[in-house]
Amino acid sequence: MARAMFEYTKTVLQKVSFDPILFCKELEKAVKRLLPYELDELRIWINYYIQGKPELSRCLIYFNQS
């Protein structure tokens, strides 16, 4: 089940990446829901995913708050 939540989170983030505000909100939810090791994986995935999308990079502050 936990792995399903991680994959679901990635799917949602991809779908809302057109809007930085929605992306930040969904990322904030993910930080609260996911397990610590999943957050590490998500951090790696996000860093790769936002390359070329500088408007989304400000959302990385949510990782620092966890």
Every domain of the chain and the residues it spans: 2-65
- Against a cut of 0.85, is the pTM above it? yes
Q: Is the pLDDT of residue 66 over 60?
A: no
Q: Distance between terminal CA atoms of the chain?
A: 22
Q: Is the pLDDT of residue 35 over 70?
A: yes
Give how far Cα 2 sits from Cα of 29, 35, 50, 60, 64, Å: 15, 8, 24, 22, 22
Q: Is the pLDDT of residue 54 over 60?
A: yes
The CA radius of gyration of the chain, in Å to the nearest whole number, is 11
Across 15-36, average pLDDT: 93
Positive or negative, the CA dihedral 8, 9, 12, 17 is negative
